[in-house]
Structure formats: structure tokens, C-alpha cells
Structure 1
């Protein structure tokens, strides 16, 4: 909102106030001044214009007179609202104006004025309006804009002859009602507007004259030939105007003021002023009006108890004493009674909508006192609470994957119904069609995000997300923490002199196995098509496995379904995993986990030996490795499979090559010792496998 200091000077004596100082004080008091402009008009009179951002809860300051009250309080300048007596220049004729439905209207008055002469406005009025950025039109419309800026009161006018189809002496019936669905309204400026039932319209004798509180119709606008007008001054329900503007996506200067609550004390003043100006500048003659005193429509004031101790608790040990508080309350035009460091404050009418509690009064006092005058008090330093075992555990898990080159992403906990499941939880009021259910898996959103980044040319990278998933189990609501990831799709060089290759199954699976080794959990792999983790639309039909601990399923790892690759034109293999963190937390006790993290490493080199074993073709690799570890050699640190040979002459057997790594914590192992370990292991395997 722009205000002219020349115009302001006509209402409040600000001759001793510098423009820059006023801008600073208004900004610190919550009315941010976005710009300060010096204007030189054609008469060589200079004017300073402030562009002020009015807070949403201060509709009472959407006028010059409303801001005068604030400036008066900030500078302690006397400001007396003129108590203008009602001029006897119109007569009440209630019988000529009847109301049909006024549910969304708190006050409504219609005045007929004849003998109107449409012409240019005087120079002083044009100068005021131009300086605050309002286009000059004619004397009638300029008067309405003048009232809007100075008093904050929207006023509509209608051409009497066009509104009443030249039958100007008939009685008037006013109706404010919802618009018909899908009907069109032609405004005074712009394209036709499609209305709906959430929009209010005003009719006079069944003719639509305006979208209530927003904009008038073109059929009733004033033209150069207008000689009689109907002047409407009203107070509409703010919520109904908000609903109309929201449904239409249309906001005007009028609707903005109705939405934010008018200053009801200025309605009568605005009415008398507009009639006086129309008489003076347009030679109008008032024929009749149904206007009645507005004071009976002003709601009752309410009281708030303010205690000095409460103010000190919020503002600290300020220099504010009882005397200063009394002065500020008077500057704000708040009446009060005081007793024993307690004030019973009566909230004035223009602040009924934003002053409701004692904290609101404290804010008002601190605004006027000056936020920059409050003492600078450093906050007390409290000892930082440590992470819980649960949070600490999840943090270490995330750090493991981040160290492996994963990027963490985050999604909403909603999904569309794409996974065939009877355990999905439906949302009663979804935001959109893609968020109709609580997610039962993190993987679908991860895949979508991966493919989206790929299509945008961002390349491929490993993704990780930790979050909650939701399921129903026999009508019981289950909410659990999971970690899920997608990896692969990029070329990597295994050594400096080798060619780049994509991540293969064993390397991807090795990352998951290293993760569980990091947690000191010995896992098993199996395939169970009835597992809750198995999702056939996401995983390859054979390249997948359920992660188990002592028979209990805790997650899944596998290659992504080829159809997803085909639909996204993605060639390389991608791998998915999803693990239940709640089960992991129950498996990893605090002591076991901490001890594992603190295991010291050996300072002595490893030594390795290779062995070849012929076993039945259906024997799992894990079974063989488990038998090798059962030999209980304290120096055996790791067993790796590096070859799986199938001979067409031995269809029922396979030849496996394992590499055995030995290491001591207190010495360097010799070749003889390593050979002896292998010889003992071979004898042990002969007993177990044959």
C-alpha cells in the first residue's frame, strides 16, 4: 500500500518527522516499508511516497487514517478522530429499499443521488491519487478511490437508469446470494468470469450488479452520460468474501479490505465524507437513502487481563515500568483499569480481530516501546542431550551407506496404489491421485526418482532412503522404520589398467553382505515367494534373495525387474534392497554392536591359499562356506569364491574355487603354517562332504 506524506499531513501533523525516520520506525513496528520515493509533480510540489507492506492481520491499517493511528502511537503525537455530526442532506426512506437475503452481510445501505455531472476531478484530488499510483478517471470514481485510500472503506456505485432499466422511481429489492453454477459475469474491466456456487453476487431487482465485495458489473457502470447513481456502502462477512476470491482466483482492492476486516469506526465517517464530496465536486442531489446509524452494528468490546510478571517473563528484565506501560496503552487508544501490577485492558473496536490474549498485548507494548530498545540477553546454555540408542544405531547405518558412495534422498510417506497388496492403508483425504495410500514400501519412489534423474541427464548414482512404511496386519496398524536403496547402472574401473565395467551381481550383493558384517550379523539367503518382502513387479524372477537371521526374514536384495528397465529405456542392471530396521535393532544389542565397532585391526599381513572342491550341483555356496568356518581355525579371516566351473561330463557336480585368507594379530604367518592350515582343512572337508 502506498501512502503520500502530503496527504498524511492533512490528517496528522507530521511536519517534524523525517521521512527516513518514519520508514525505519514503521518497519521496526511491523509495517515494512519496501520503498521510499520522492515525487515531483507538474506544479513543482514535491511529495514523498512510502510503499508499505501491511500485515495480514491488520486490516484496520489498510487506510491512511488507520496508519495515522499507528504513527500517532509510535511518535506519541495527538490524533483525534473527528466526531463528525450527521449532515442533514438526505432523508431516510426505508420503504423504498427492501432486503431479501442478507445472511452474509453485516450492514448494507443504498443511496440514490441525482443531477450528477461527470467531469474531471480537481487538481488536488488528482495529485493525491496519482502520487499513490491510482489512475485518474472521473470525479465520481476518483472520489470513491479517495475514500478507499483515506478511510479504507470500499464503496460501489451503479448507474440508476441502467440498473433499473430506466424505471428509477420503483422500490428496490436487494439480494445477496450464491451465484448460479457455471454462469458468466462481465466485469467492468477484463474478460468474462465464470462463476460457481461458492461465489456471492448482489442483485438489485433481480439484476446482478456485482460480485459481492469484489467487482461491479459492466451493465451497471457509470459512463460520461450518467446523471443518477445508486451508491452502495456495506460491510460483508470476511469469510464469505475470502471464499469468493479463492474460488475465482480474483483479488481486488475492495475484496482485500473486506477479507481483512474493515475498521468499523470509520464506516459512518466514510459515508458522510463521500456524500459531501459528491455534492461538492459532482453537484449531486441526494434523493433518498436507507442508511441508519452504524454504531449498533459494532460488536461489543472485550477485556484482557495483563500482568506485569507475564510481560517480564516474555520481554525480560526491561526498563518498562508501570508508568511506561500506562503511557503506551494510552498511545494505542486502549482503555484500562490498573490494580497491583495488573491491568484490565479494554480492546478497542478496530483491534477486536487480532488482540485476543495477553501475549497480543505484550507484543503491542513491545512494538511501540521498540524492539531495538529491548535488552540483548544471550540464551541459557543447556547440556546437549545424547542420541538415543535407536537414533545412534540408525545414524551409524546411514553413515555406512554414505561412506559407500550412496546419496540420501527423502520422499513423502504416500504412494498411489501400484503394488498389488491387501495391506495398503487408504488415506481418506489424499492431496492428489498419486498420494492415495500410505506407502508399504520405499522402493517404488526410489525407482521413480532414479529414472527421473536419468531422464534429466543427471547420470546414475546409488540412492538411499531411511523412512517409515505402513501396513495392516489383521486390522492392526503397523508402522516400521526401513532402509532401502537402489544401486548400479554406472561403469566402474576395478583397477587402473582395466576397462570400465558395470556393477555385477556379486559386487552389489557384496555391499549388502559387508553391511551385515559391519553390524556383526551372520545372515542367510533364501527364496520365499510368500515373503512380505517379495514384490514380483519390482524384482527379477530369479535374481533375488530374502535376507534371514536365524530363520527370521529381515529384508530383501535382488536385481530390478527387466520390464522397468525396458519402460525407461535403461540398459544396465540395477539392484534393489529393502531392510527392516526395527528387526535389525532388536537383533543388535547395544553392547554387541559397540564391541563390534571397536574391534582392533591386525598390524600383520594376510596370507592366502586357494583350494578346489567338487560338490553336488545343488549344494549352496553358503553351506560350503559354513562348513569351512566350522573347522574353527582362529587365523582364518575370510573365504571368497572366485570360480564356479561346470563340466559337461559331470552334470550332477560343480567345481568351486575358494580363496582362504589367514592372518594373525600377534605375528606374521609363515608359508609352512599356511600350508598346514590348508592340509587340515582339506581333511576336514573330506569328512564332511564325502
Structure 2
């Protein structure tokens, strides 16, 4: 938001220098991003008079001029602009001038002819946007006068960062209120002096959609003369970056930046009938807006319409069909209130934004429309000497109701950290145009003005008081508190510990979105009660994930597509399933292996990952988490390859699954290069069965006895179950390890040979041969009875 200091001084007395005012604005929350002092780059730029006009001898498009700048000898200047003639008063940058952009004016030769200066356009002077031709001054401009003096370019422009909750500060009067409150001064509101005609308003207003438009005020002005705006008005608009158009449009823009009230002027003669309707657009209705674009509406927009057509998109932009032009003699002024939600939605839908929509989106003062209507009518009449119809139309369907906000002074002081007297509080609130009612000892009710929609609770009042009291007036004081060390959240701690263990194992962490595409679970063969998002960002983020599988497989696929072939990744994140209230959130640990491990050995070929690589990582992780007692069972999970994946159980409680992904799932995810191995475990259950305390045991000094057995058994028997039973068969068995499985021509087709190593040891003494023999005999009996296995001969 650009604020002109010259303009601001019309509403509040300001004697402070620029630096002091900058500090004051920043301290009260209106942060100054930049300051531009107009005219600071216009040394040696003066008013000139073209006294001779000729053609450059070697260039048809260049003119050769003699320009009187108040010196003994006129300056010879070559100019390429098309819009000057003999006798014009112009702006001349003399030799030595340094224009904006560090453009230095020097004596130069243009096609062999000397030029001793330059005639300037608005763009070259940094005072406007018109660069098509040079600036032509009025005939009475004094020759040789400094251009800053002549044009009044002694203004200072502040660029302010206005927060979204303070739309009232998107105007000069809004900032004047802030400055006046800070310096304890009065705001000088502009007077409206109108000569009116007697008679009816000549217009009927019907608000058909009173949910999105709660007030519409309008008035007719007759015998209007549309022409160029006076210099003071053009200078004000240019100062804040606006291009002057004509006196009527310029005044509506001036009012918007004066009062923060967008308004619009219609050519009354182009309106059909005497009725204005605020209604919803018809499906497929078209309107050409002032920017020249034809726009098709879809029934959700709010429009202003006469008795035959839409003439404006409410709160955003007027229509070309009622545009004010040089032939306009009668206008209809509109000042209205449109709800922020409607304007925001319409602007986004149409991709159309304007200064008006920017303000309506943030909220304006709906109780101020008649004040603005009077002000605009007064300005137009003073400039054009038009006639103003005395009566106006004003439909107010939902009048503003002042609200009361309660505040406890003791709570304020506790919040601020300093005792602020009640009188000081009252003085600050009154300076901000807030009314105060006493509600008992140290308790008050505050009634904010209608333009302060952001004041809704006591905390908002605290902010107002602090910023006007001054942060610098609140002493630094350390709080006196009994500070105790906090306790780390248990879930955070276990999650962080899990990640550390997985990273230490050489896995790389990935982080995926919690959203997955609609219908992807069918491709993954996952059955779960899912939760869909009502307003998804896009079609790839529709459903909350019940599994980490989609994200991990996507990571694998995308890396394969980029020729990265050694993938060892993990993710520890939340998953979501539908519950009676909201969702069941479960933190899961996902591990994925794919591709071929790169070796650093000389001439070693990469080997593809297999099930046992993943099994090693899973078991290492479980061991690190203190979980050592669990069972592996062949899984029936349809997402995994049958026979190449297992479930992890502790007793009857399911912990997770790991193994090779089903080929159909891999194909559905466009992964065909290598097999993918994936594990997914529930972290809470891992923690539940993990030992958090480490128990140390003495090293057993007695020797171990090793026995190797080759067992012949049916192919469909599960070796893992047999190994578990062997381990539990005797208390002197320290370990059971599988080291070979053989199937081939040396054994029957439906058989397999299992080679296992059994480690036996006593902690209380050396094993005797008869103890070892008894233990082995018991193992062989178990194998024969339960698994129909026998020693391979």
C-alpha cells in the first residue's frame, strides 16, 4: 500500500520528519517497507520553451530544436518524440542531470549533430507510466523554473505492509487515524458541500441476493462534463502509482484510496430502465468487462444488472457496456457492501483481481457508504459543476450492529507484564474511536467502530493498547517461574529412536505425503476403511493413507526411472483408517529394498536384493528395539508374493508383514525392472513387546558342544516352526541355526534336505556326553513325530 505524505497531511497534522514518522508507523504495526522521496533525482531538470523547431538533417524521425531554459543561449536538443511542436513548454534535463536508474545526461552527438540535453517523458522522470511521448506543460509554466517546484514534486511516498486483518488501513484516512491516535491528535475528515436538486432519486434498487450484498447506495448526477482531471488530482493518483483516466473515474479511485471504499460510476444513459438489481448471474451469461475481456459467468457470481443486462461483476469490475467516456453527461454513482467470501470466490473463479476486489475480500466499513457517496458527489460537483439529484437510493438489508468486547484490566496487565493505569487504557481506546462502558472494578466493555471488524475478543484489545502504549515503554523483565525440565513425548521418542536405528543400519529415510490417489488401494490389493478429503488439492491427494506401501513403491518407481538402482529406504509415519470419531492413527515403520547392491570390491558384480536381505534388516531393527521373542508365519496378505512373505506375531497379536511384493502390485505401480521387498510394522506393538532395559549376563566359561544334523522332510513343512520347537525342547540348547536347504536329484521330488547346526551349553558346568546324546535323541524324536522328518542317510 502506497501512502502519500502530502495527501496524508490533509487529514492529520504531521510535523515530524520522515525518519520519525517511519519509526512511529512501524511501532504501531504498519511496517514501512520502503520510502521514496519524490524529486530527489531531478537536479538540473527545468521548464523549457521550444523557440525553434526543425528537422534533423540525417534522420526523418528526429527533430532539431532550440529550447530556452532561462539561460543566455537556448540549448540545442535533438528529440525523437512525436508529440511536440514549436512553442510548447517542456521538461528539459540539462547536462549534468542524473535521472532515475542512474541515467546521466551528457553532451552528445546524434548522427553528427550536437545535442545538449534531453526532453523528458513521465517514465524517464520516474513520475508516471506514460513513455510514448514527452511531457507537455501548460502555457503559463515559468521558463527555467526547477521542475520539482513547478510540479510540486516534494512529496514522500511510504510503502506500507498492511496485514490482512487491518483493511481499514488500506487508505489515507485509515493511516491518518493510526497516526492521530499515536500522537494524540485529531483526524480532520474531509467536508462534503453539495448543491442538490429537489426531486426523486430517479432510480430503484432491488437487492435480490441479500446474503452476499447487504447494502447498496446510489445517486444520479446530471450535466456532467467528462474531461481530463485537474493537476492536483492527477498528481495525487500518480504519486501512488495510478494512471489518470478522466475526472469521473479518477475521483472514484481517489475516494477508494481516501476512505478504503471501492465505488463505481455508470453512464446513466447506457442503463436500460430505472431499476438496478443485485442478483446472481444467469448460467452462461456473458459480460465484457472494462479490461476488454468477454467473460462467461457460471451462476455463482454476483452481478449488478439493469432491466435488460448485467452491467458489472459486483465488487470486482464494471462492464464495458456502461463505461463512462467523453460523451457521458449523466452518471449513476454506486457505493455498496459485498461480503468478503463472495468476492474472494468470484475473483478466484474468474481469475480476475482489482483494487476493488482486494479491499472487498478483506472487508470494508458497510456503515459508511452514505458518507462516501456524499464525498464523491461533492468532489465531482466541485470539478465539473454538475447537478446532483438530492434524493438517493439506499437499501440496507442487514444494518451494522455495534458489538461489545469485554476486558479485564488485571488480565491485561498480566498479559503485558506491566501495570497500565485504567485512565491510560481509556485514553488509548478513545483515541482509536472506541467507546468504553464500565462493568465493575477493573472491568470494562469496549465498542469498536464499524470499520474495525478485527476487534472481536479481549486479546485484540490487548494488542491495540500495547502498540499505542509503546513496546519501548515495557521494561525487559525475566519472568519468575518454577521451571522444570519437560518430559519428551513418548511417541516422539520412540519414533526418533526407530529412525536412528534404521539410519544406523544404512537405510535412507524418505518422507511422503499422507494422501494417496482415489482407487489406488485396489491396485495395491489393500483392504481398509479409508477416509476421503472433502477438498483435495488434486486427484493424487484424495484419500488419507492406511498404509505406507504406496509412498514407498512410488519412491522405488521414480528412482528406477532415473536410473538409480540401489535402493534401501525407510519411512516412519502415521497411517489413517476410519473410526467412529475422526480416525484411528497408527504410526508404522516401512522398509523397502529394491535393485542391486553396489559393491566396492574389485570387479564385483552387483547382486539383486532378496527376501533374506530384507529379513536381516527387519530382524536387526527388532533386536535394536529390544524385541527378540516373536514368530514368523507364512502370510495371506494379498499385497505380497505367496510363499515369499511372512507375518510377524507375538502370541496371537499381529505385529507386521515383510517379504516380496506381489507381481501384480509391482506391475500396477509400473515397476518391472527388479523385484521389490517391503516390510511394514506397527511401531506401538514393537515398543509394547520390546525390552527397554538392557540385561547383561556373565560370559559362560564352560565350552559349547556343536552338532550338525541333516534332516529329510516333506517340502510343505515349515522349517521355521521346526526350529522354534527344537529351541524349546531342552534348556541346554543355546542356539539353532539353519545353514542349508537342498532340493534336487539326490532327494525325492517331494522332499527337501535341511541342514541345521545345534549349539548346546550348560551355565553351571561342562556338558557330559550322555546329556548331549539325550538332548539330540529328544530333538530327533520331536522331528519324526511332529514333522515326519528323519536323519538323511
TM-score with structure 2 length normalisation? 0.74
Secondary structure of the corresponding residue to residue 641 of structure 1: strand
Per the TM alignment, residue 558 of structure 1 is displaced from its structure 2 partner at its CA by: 1.2
Q: Please give the per-residue CA displacement for 1:279-302, whole angstroms capped at 9, x wherever unaligned.
A: 2323323356425699x9863433
Per the TM alignment, residue 253 of structure 1 is displaced from its structure 2 partner at its CA by: 1.2
Task: Say whether 1:493 aligns with 2:633.
Answer: no
Q: Which residue of 2 aligns with 1:305?
A: 406
Which residues of 2 match residues 204-603 of structure 1 at below 5 A? 204-264=306-366, 266-287=368-389, 289-291=391-393, 299-316=400-417, 318-338=418-438, 340-351=441-452, 353-378=453-478, 380=481, 382-387=483-488, 392-393=493-494, 395-406=496-507, 407-412=509-514, 416-417=518-519, 418-419=521-522, 423-427=528-532, 429=534, 431=536, 433-434=539-540, 437-456=543-562, 460-470=567-577, 480-493=586-599, 498-518=604-624, 519-529=626-636, 534-535=637-638, 538-566=639-667, 568-588=670-690, 593-595=691-693, 597-599=694-696
Q: Which residue of 2 aligns with 1:62?
A: 170
Change (3 A) 1:630 1:377: same
Secondary structure of the corresponding residue to residue 179 of structure 2: helix
Change (3 A) 1:235 1:569: closer
Which residues of 2 match residues 72-83 of structure 1 at below 5 A? 72-81=180-189
Unaligned runs of 5+ in 2: 40-126, 128-146, 784-789
Distance (whole Å) between structure 2 residues aligned to residue 600 and residue 478 of structure 1: 41
Which residues of 2 match residues 529-678 of structure 1 at below 5 A? 529=636, 534-535=637-638, 538-566=639-667, 568-588=670-690, 593-595=691-693, 597-599=694-696, 611-618=708-715, 619-626=717-724, 628-630=726-728, 632=730, 636=734, 638-651=735-748, 653-658=751-756
Aligned residue among 218, 221, 229 for 1:121: 229
Distance (whole Å) between structure 2 residues aligned to residue 510 and residue 274 of structure 1: 80
Q: Please give the per-residue CA displacement for 1:384-430, whole angstroms capped at 9, x wherever unaligned.
A: 34356666555544433232233153431666332356652454736
Indicate if the aligned counterparts of 1:152 and 1:257 stay in contact, CA closer than 8 A: yes
Per the TM alignment, residue 664 of structure 1 is displaced from its structure 2 partner at its CA by: 10
Per the TM alignment, residue 606 of structure 1 is displaced from its structure 2 partner at its CA by: 10
Distance (whole Å) between structure 1 residues aligned to residue 362 and residue 579 of structure 2: 46
Distance (whole Å) between structure 2 residues aligned to residue 663 and residue 190 of structure 1: 94
Task: Say whether 1:97 aligns with 2:97.
Answer: no
Distance (whole Å) between structure 2 residues aligned to residue 344 and residue 162 of structure 1: 50
Per the TM alignment, residue 453 of structure 1 is displaced from its structure 2 partner at its CA by: 4.1
Structural RMSD (CA) = 3.8
User: May I ask how many residue pairs the two structures share in their alignment?
Assistant: 662
Distance (whole Å) between structure 2 residues aligned to residue 605 and residue 73 of structure 1: 90
Greater Cα shift, 184-193 or 20-29: 20-29
Secondary structure of the corresponding residue to residue 616 of structure 1: strand
Change (3 A) 1:521 1:146: same
Q: Please give the per-residue CA displacement for 1:426-467, whole angstroms capped at 9, x wherever unaligned.
A: 547362554555544332232123323443566633122342
Distance (whole Å) between structure 1 residues aligned to residue 251 and residue 635 of structure 2: 82
Change (3 A) 1:226 1:502: same
Unaligned runs of 5+ in 1: 165-170
Change (3 A) 1:143 1:477: closer
Per the TM alignment, residue 173 of structure 1 is displaced from its structure 2 partner at its CA by: 0.9
TM-score with structure 1 length normalisation? 0.84
Change (3 A) 1:396 1:291: closer
Distance (whole Å) between structure 1 residues aligned to residue 782 and residue 345 of structure 2: 81
Distance (whole Å) between structure 1 residues aligned to residue 739 and residue 771 of structure 2: 20
Change (3 A) 1:237 1:289: farther
Per the TM alignment, residue 377 of structure 1 is displaced from its structure 2 partner at its CA by: 4.1
Secondary structure of the corresponding residue to residue 462 of structure 1: strand
Per the TM alignment, residue 257 of structure 1 is displaced from its structure 2 partner at its CA by: 2.5
Q: Which residue of 1 aligns with 2:83?
A: none
